[in-house]
Every structure is written in structure tokens, then in C-alpha cells.
Structure 1
Amino acid sequence: MNVQISPAAITPTVIAPPAPRNLQETGLSMVMMRDILLKTMFRMNVDLVTQISRVVCLPVTAVQELVDMARGQRLLEATGTLHATSGNEMGYQLTDAGKARALDALAQSEYYGAMPVPLEDYAAQVKRQSVRNMKLTRDQLLTGMGHLILPEDLIGNLGPAVGSGRSILMYGPPGNGKSSISNGIRDSLGDKIFIPRAVEYSGQVITVYDPIVHSAAEEISDDPNSLRKTSNRFDQRYVYCQRPSVITGGELTLDMLDLNYNSVARTYTAPLQMKSNGGIFIVDDLGRQADPPQKLVNRWIVPLEESRDILQLQSGEKFTVPFDTLVIFSTNFHPNEIFDGAALRRIFFKIKIDGPNQENFLKIFAMVARKKKMPIDQAAILHLLKNKYPTINNNYANYQPVFLIDQMIAVCEFEGIPYQMSPELIDRAWANMFVKNEAIAR
């Protein structure tokens, strides 16, 4: 659904990439653009310049220039009929020579659709909207963390780390909200940037925009009664998106940080860190991956220090791309167990995330109980604090209130009784939170 957005709706802090006024301003070779045009018309069966314009993401005037060039080469021909439903617009179709050229181009690469952005233009846009240019305030970070109860000094430590756009290592015992804090940081970023649909380097097309990673903003359309047009104020080869966030866990492998080449379609897909440019890259559960943490950080030594990454084409040719992402590592291991000193120096901020004290634990417990409509029982709380937690040296964790209350809810629903809390139900819930160390006969 298209909505009307005023010119002010485009983030004022991010300079939009200007729309190319002609084919020369696209920065692409005429042969590449012509072949993408032919492949697109062949695969998508579009025949009107306005339709083609929307698909290849170029202005109508530039597309008409491209169509006229292809007609001059006898690759396209006018159909000879006007489309009454499209403002009497002339239709075009591939000639036999055009179909042969389209098939030949598809044999080299199956890519069609949106014209790519030259790598150097993409690098310039990344610099204009760099995550390091953000001015994150305490209020913004608190808003992103609004659903969390955190120690007072944690925001003070996180704020400078996030605002710097440098790498962060969060470590501490499991179940204390490191993943939730990472997501809160993502939510606090707030503004929007421009993500290219695809990037071109050395004649190769690398797709970047990924609907799974990138959250597109509402599509901009013009008010038909307005004299000022806004929808084409930026290059349509880009998608206006929330700052991206890539979240990976134990499934992360080193090859996911390289270009992904599809040998059947003969196309490239950008690696995860390139898709996260301008946003954040969260490596959750560091230490659970098949590749050791030291090896993962070694792969990022140059990117973390120089804000550039090195990728390689199938031909073996290497090239440089921007690395402009806030990398957040989250681990349950002590950093000295998984990194050497050199690796730790590359990670700019190290922040320990401890479990809550008893006061914050009770606040979290009350908040979760209220959210889940579980009445608080004073006797049950006292039983929990005086009889249960001393058995684990009063080691509170953020996950425990949710776990205990969900356990009691499950019992109440099974027994067919109203939600309630009691010392007996606390005991039953507690029994499922830990496993007794004992020998099992086999």
C-alpha cells in the first residue's frame, strides 16, 4: 500500500543518493544496461517504458534512451499499437536478434531487474550514512531498552560504545539478557538509510538488498494535487530502509562472511557483514560456532581496524568494500578463555553483563507476573528467596522470573485452576529449572 510522505519524512541526517538524470550518470556501461534491459523484458514480459522503468529502477527518460539505443541496434521494435489504458503509451518487444542476445546474456548471468549501483558510488553512500555518524543520546538508548530492567551503570557503559560505532564484546553468565540488550541497541538506532538493491564491480553484479535483513520503509508516492514531486528525490536503485541488523548465532561459519556465488544462476550475493553496513552485526552465543572465536575475529582484523573488507570473485580477483557496521559479540565464556591478547585489542569495548541483584530480580519478577496476569503471593516470594535461592548461593539471573512463572502457569492450566502462586508451585517450578547431578545407570 502506497502512502503519501512529505519531503521532511526522508531522514534529514542522511543525504539521499541523487537519481541519475541520464544513462551516463548511472555509472554503468551501456552494454551492461542494455543486456539487463533485454533480460528483464525477456524474463518478465514487460513491454511499456513506464513498466520497465519501475522494474529496472531508472527514470523513464533514461529508460527511453536505453530503449531507443536497443532499437537502433535492432534488438527491440515497437509493437505498432498504443495502450489505451496506459496513456496511449507505445509498446516494445524483442526482435529475433534481441531474443538471441537476451539468451546469450542470461547464459553469462541470470541477473535481471534493478540496475546495480557501481561499487564506488555505493562506498560514497555508505560514508554519507555511516553508523559512526550517529549521535546516540542517553534517552534514545533508554527508549530502545525500555522493556529491560538494567543496572544503573550499564547504560553509561553501553552509550559510548554504541555511539562510537566500534566493536563491542558483551560477556557474562548465561540467561542475563545479553541477546535482549543487543536487540535493544538495534531498536535504539531509529533512523533510516539507503540500501542498494545490487552493486556492480568489474562487470559482476552482487545483490545486497535482502528483505529478511532489511526492513523497507513505507513506499513514497506523490500527492496528485501537489506541484512538488517527492517520490523520485532519490535513486530508485536504492531501497529506503531502517538501519539493518544481522543476528547470527551458533550457525555462523567463516564461509558466510564471503561472497556467495550461485554457480547455476552465475550471480553473487553479498555476505552478511556487507548487508549489515550502516547498522549492526550481532554474533550471539560466541563460542558455540563450528569455527573457534579466535578464527572469527582473525577474519575481521582488517575490517575492524580499517573499516574496509576484502572480498574475492570466482576468478580470484580481490576487491575492497566498505565495512561500516557496529559488531556486537555476545558470549557466556570469559574473554580470556576464547581470545588471545591481540584479538581482545581489536575489540574496542568489553562490557560484562552480570545477573541482577535481589532488588532488580524482584522488579523483573513483578513485571513478568503482571504481564502474564499471574497474581503475586507474598508467602511464595518469601519461600523463593529464603529457601530456594540460598541453595544456589543467591545467584539471580534475568531469565529465571520468566521460567518460574511460565512453569506455574503450565501447572495451573493443566490442573484447571486459576493462575496462582504458592510455595508448592514454586517448588514444582524450581525442580524444572535445574538438573540434579547424579549418576544414571545404563
Structure 2
Amino acid sequence: MNHALDAARAAAPAVTSSDANPDSRLRLLAPRPLNIEDTGLSRHFLTELLIKHLYDAGLLSAKQLMQRLSLAGPVLEGLIEFLRKEVLIDVHGQGFDNRELSYGLTQRGREVAIDAYARSGYLGPAPVPIQQYRKVAAAQTVHATHVNADALNELFRFTVLRDSIRQQLGPAMNSGRAIFIYGPAGTGKTYITQKLTGLFTDSCLIPYAISVNEQVVSLFDPLLHEPVSDSEGGPSLMLDQGYDPRFINCARPQVITGGELGMEMLEVHFNPVTKEYQAPLQLKANNGIFIIDDMGRQRATPMEVFNRWIVPMEEKRDYLTLGAGRHFQTPFDQILVFSSNINPLELADEAFLRRIGYKIYFGYLEQDEYRRIWQQVCTEKGIDFDPELVDFALVKLHEQHQVGLRPCHPRDLLGMAQDRRRYLGENAASIDEVSLRWAWDSYFVSLDAEVEMSATQLTRRNDHV
């Protein structure tokens, strides 16, 4: 029994994404700080961050500082008042828009800014303390969103996916356990797994950065996190409006990595040039889905990758390290999906595979499934559907060459046949057997060529002996 998962589900807020007023849910989830104490950060930390922004920009108005720091007016006013008393900033009259006062650094303020930059190069919105981030992540856990058969069938309404796989995917998404999807290459594993985030119609709050003992780790990634429009996301002078602007409201994240994955990508990265910390992939995937595609082809060995997940999968928390060996704990709240065209038994031992709740096999197609995909591709590419051409592909090509039926074949073969028709100045909406056979010969490695190349390589080796 997974007590960590049960606790995360129990911590989910009573107000859900289906409520009439989603903005109220966000305000309850992450209330807007009303003063410096509410931010969970020290005044010293916030003033240094503000000074670095002024050092970077030169002169900034209060509105511009609010936008850069993601802090509401009352919090910013307290910081500015303190800095003026310490003679670190001064007022420069009218701002660039000729309406607002602007603030700049004094000589003493510039010296403090240079010293602050030497310790940390982070320049962005005020971070969220790790303790607050843990609470928010637990409250919006992805495991509290339950998938039902209607939602899954609607998502794959126009996708040829056999019922046995559908009946496994749905419960697997609800289980809170890792999922292993495997099968031959080209059987639709990547395509199907990448569509799974479509099952989640709600959003979650992602912090721009988190603070661990006032060491800042950047978390929001515009390449991975997709902001959703809302009416209350920005800083405001009004105390009763909006949620904490240090968060951004995003669709539930989907993080995908493949053969490029190295173990260093799963740890906090420190850039010695900019003196900034960057969150690892699994931290960016929190409250969403993390897909490790092409499992077994990473730069790291399969067992290195698998062993990295044993503790997070069991405890629903991860342990990361900053400089000088400082450890900290983060939530591990995501649906972890492994996808591979290698037999799982060749990648991991039985003890690890037992920890993965669902192993879902994607096999070759039946002929009727192949026909349906063929017809769909014809519709998408504007090709006249010819049942006899499908029979030709099935009997004269696949069966004769003993090539299994894969979902990728109709799209690839018809696309290449169209390429030839266009090149010859022929009607690309009509594909004949000649063009299809040409596409087949161009798509698959020729057995004759393979034999010839092997013989050539053998001759070269003999010549060198």
C-alpha cells in the first residue's frame, strides 16, 4: 500500500478544476503575499534581488519592479522604503513614461549589487520557498485527477487503438504507479504516450523558481511549461486580487526525453559562468507526466536510469543536491512512463519491474486495423482511397516480404509515393501500384544491398590482412 500517494490525494483541495470559479481555487492554493513575511523570504534576500534588477536595468519604475520581481505593490513598497533609508537607491524624478517615479542605485547600492551577483547570478521573479512549493504541489497532485473510460475514448476517438490497450491505459493512469510501454519500433508507442496529457483538462501552478535556504533554483521552463490565460496572474496593488504572482498558471506539464538523457539531467545543474542553478527534468515534470522514450538507448545505462527512480517511485519524493553537498527534498508527483522497443526483461531485473505497476505491450496490427489507418492517412493527405491498393500492400508487399503491419507504415509509404508522383508531375491524389512499390523499395533496406555491402566490407578486411 502506497501511503505517500494516499496522503497526496488526501491533501488535494476541495475546490477542483471543474468549479465555477477556477480563480478562487488558485487564490486558495497560493494566496498573494500581503507583506514581506508572507513571502517566506528574508528582507535581506529580497532587497539584494531588487538591487540586482536595478543594476541590470539602470532605472526602473515601481510598476516595472513589480513585474520583474512578481511581487505585489505592498511588498515592494516595504522593500523600497528600507533601501532608501539605507541609501542604496534614490529617486530619479519622472520615469520613462513621464508619469511614474523611477528608482536607481546609489554608488553604495552598485557595490552591494556587484557583491550580490558574485554570490548568485539569478535574476528573475522572487522564488517560492521549498516548503511552500511542497504544499502547493501536493494540493494539486496529478493523482487526484481520475481518468474514466469516456474521457480516454474521446481522446483516442480518431486513433486506431485496440480495446485491450485502452483497457490497460486508463487504469494505469489512475494507479499512481509507473508505466512501462514496450513493443516493436513503429507500433505507435511514442504517439500514444504523447497524447496522454490530453486526459488532463485542468491546470496547475508552476513557480518561476524555488528557494532552498535562499539558494535559488530556476524551475519554470518556457519550452516545457505552457501558460494558460487567466485573469489574475500578474502583480497587483490590490490586496484581495489574484494568487501569488511568483507562480504561473500552466497546463499540466509533459516532459519527454529520449536517447539524449544523461544522469546529469536528473540532478540540479549549476552553471559556473552565470552562477545559477537549474532544476532537473523530473522537478519540471511535477504535477504532470514524465516520459522516458527509447528506453535502453540513453547515454546512461538502463540500470543507472532505473536505479535513479527506485526511491522516488516508492516514497513519492526525490532528494537533490546543491553545491557543497547540501541536500533537499522535493515532491515526486508525476506519472512516470517508460517506453521502449527492447524487451523489458533485457533492460531491468525482476525486482525493479515488479515496482512498475503496468507493462503494456504494443504489438503489430491486424489487417482491419491497418486498413483503417490507411484510410485515415488518405483522408489527411488528400489521397483517393482505393481498397485494391490496400490489398496490394497487404498481400504483394507485407505478406510477400514477411514484414509485420505497423501503424507507421501507411503514413510513410503513402507519403513517399506522393513525393514521387509530385516529382514526376503526376496527380498526387491518386497513388498507383508502381508508385507504392517504389516507395516500399526506398523505405526498406534492400536485402541485396545488405549482402553486397557485407561482402564489400569482408573484402576490405581481407585486403588489410
TM-score (norm 1): 0.92
Cα distance between partner residues in 1 of 2:345 and 2:327: 33
Aligned residue runs from structure 1 range 101-120, under 5 A: 101-120=112-131
Cα distance between partner residues in 2 of 1:132 and 1:14: 21
Aligned to 1:27: 40
Aligned partner of 2:107: which letter?
D
Stretches of structure 1 that go unaligned for 5 or more consecutive residues are: 1-5, 223-228
Work out the number of aligned pairs and report it: 429
For the aligned residues, what is the CA RMSD? Answer: 2.2
Does residue 59 in structure 1 map to residue 72 in structure 2?
A: yes
Cα distance between partner residues in 2 of 1:123 and 1:12: 17
The alpha-carbon deviation at position 143 of structure 1 amounts to 3.1
The alpha-carbon deviation at position 22 of structure 1 amounts to 0.4
CA contact (8 A) 1:15 1:128 kept: no
The alpha-carbon deviation at position 207 of structure 1 amounts to 0.3
Aligned residue runs from structure 1 range 121-160, under 5 A: 121-160=132-171
Does residue 436 in structure 1 map to residue 446 in structure 2?
A: yes
Cα distance between partner residues in 1 of 2:20 and 2:155: 26
SS at match of 2:423: helix
SS at match of 2:452: coil
Aligned partner of 1:243: which letter?
R
Cα distance between partner residues in 2 of 1:113 and 1:384: 57
Q: 1:39 to 1:394 in 2, by over 3 A?
A: closer
Aligned to 2:421: 412
- Greater CA deviation, 20-29 or 94-103? 94-103
* More helix as a share of residues: 2
Q: 1:371 to 1:309 in 2, by over 3 A?
A: same
Does residue 426 in structure 1 map to residue 439 in structure 2?
A: no
Cα distance between partner residues in 2 of 1:9 and 1:266: 37
Stretches of structure 2 that go unaligned for 5 or more consecutive residues are: 1-18, 457-465
Cα distance between partner residues in 2 of 1:170 and 1:11: 38
| Aligned partner of 1:78 among 71, 91, 96 | 91
| Aligned partner of 2:192 among 177, 181, 198 | 181
CA contact (8 A) 2:318 2:332 kept: yes
Aligned to 1:261: 270
CA contact (8 A) 1:171 1:334 kept: yes
Cα distance between partner residues in 2 of 1:11 and 1:147: 35
Aligned to 1:165: 176
Post-superposition Cα deviations, 1:135-164, rounded to whole Å, max 9, x if no partner, equal 222222233334421001211110011122
| Aligned partner of 2:359 among 350, 361, 365 | 350
CA contact (8 A) 1:117 1:237 kept: yes
Aligned to 1:48: 61
Cα distance between partner residues in 2 of 1:339 and 1:14: 44
Aligned partner of 1:248: which letter?
T
Aligned to 2:334: 325
The alpha-carbon deviation at position 433 of structure 1 amounts to 3.0
TM-score (norm 2): 0.88
The alpha-carbon deviation at position 267 of structure 1 amounts to 1.2
Aligned to 2:261: 252
Aligned to 1:291: 300
CA contact (8 A) 2:27 2:243 kept: no
Q: Identity of counterpart residues, as a percentage?
A: 32
Does residue 363 in structure 1 map to residue 372 in structure 2?
A: yes
